[in-house]
Each structure stands twice: as C-alpha cells, then as structure tokens.
C-alpha cells in the first residue's frame, strides 16, 4: 500500500512537472523579465524536490521489501536488536532501532 501511494505521487508530480514545462515552453518566457517566469521556475523547483524525495522513498520501500524477503526486516542494521513495532508502524522503512537512529534518517 505504501509503495502504491508513493508510485501514485511520483506519477502525479511527474505530470505536474511536464505541465509546467509545457507552460514555460508555450509562453517562451524570459524568467528574468517576466513576473510569471520566476513563479513557474519556483514551482518547478518545488515539485522537482518533492519528486526526488518520493523517488528516494520508493528506493527505501524496495530495500525494506528486500529485508522482508530475506528475513531481516525489523532487525536493526547497526546493533542487531529488534526494531520496536511502534517505530516500524511510524516508519515502515526503518533500518535501525531508536537507540541507533542516525540524524540523516
């Protein structure tokens, strides 16, 4: 379910980027002098960032599926302890327990 929702967001965001690109191309705008150009550029950058985040999350989901398949899902990659069910419920792609959690996760 998590993977399906992420794939749907990726598809929607990809459509949004394509729509913005089409709008920019149709307008032949010069971002520097067109007041709408900067707005379109900002919106494209914002959506591209969200798209990148969702693609990275999809990779994490696929890694979690691999851990599920090989029987290591729910085991901390750092200390080997069980990851609490509450943590997995909140973050299904968690690779480490709360005690070993790294700031970049």
User: pLDDT tens digit string along 39-67?
Assistant: 888 899 999 999 999 999 999 999 999 99
Considering the domain architecture, whether residues 6 and 54 belong to the same structural domain is answered as: yes
> Is the pLDDT reported for residue 74 higher than 90?
yes
| Token pair 């901390």: residue | 76
Considering the domain architecture, whether residues 7 and 49 belong to the same structural domain is answered as: yes
Domain ranges, residue 99: 74-105
> Is the pLDDT reported for residue 22 higher than 70?
yes
Considering the domain architecture, whether residues 16 and 61 belong to the same structural domain is answered as: yes
Q: What is the dihedral of CA 66, 100, 50, 73, to 10 degrees?
A: 20
Q: How far apart are CA 53 and CA 12, in angstroms?
A: 14
Considering the domain architecture, whether residues 84 and 48 belong to the same structural domain is answered as: no
Residue 61 structure tokens: 């989901």
Give the pLDDT of residue 27: 64
Lowest mean pLDDT among 16-20, 32-36, 71-75, 84-88: 32-36
| Token pair 């085991």: residue | 75
Considering the domain architecture, whether residues 79 and 66 belong to the same structural domain is answered as: no
Are 38 and 31 in contact by the 8 Å Cβ rule? The answer is yes
Considering the domain architecture, whether residues 50 and 88 belong to the same structural domain is answered as: no
Class of residue 105 by CB neighbours under 10 A (exposed 0-12, middle 13-18, buried 19+)? exposed
Considering the domain architecture, whether residues 16 and 32 belong to the same structural domain is answered as: yes
Structural domain total, the chain:
2
| Stronger pLDDT, 30 or 51, i.e. the higher one | 51
Considering the domain architecture, whether residues 6 and 37 belong to the same structural domain is answered as: yes
Considering the domain architecture, whether residues 9 and 46 belong to the same structural domain is answered as: yes
């Amino acid at each position: 379910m998590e993977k399906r929702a992420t794939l749907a967001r990726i598809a929607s965001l990809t459509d949004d980027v394509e729509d913005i690109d089409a709008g920019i191309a149709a307008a032949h705008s010069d971002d520097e002098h067109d007041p709408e150009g900067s707005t379109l550029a900002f919106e494209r950058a914002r959506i591209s960032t969200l798209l990148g985040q969702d693609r990275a999350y999809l990779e994490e989901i696929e890694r979690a599926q691999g851990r599920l398949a090989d029987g290591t899902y729910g085991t901390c990659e750092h200390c080997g302890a069980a990851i609490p069910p509450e943590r997995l419920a909140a973050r299904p792609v968690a690779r480490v327990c709360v005690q070993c959690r790294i700031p970049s996760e």
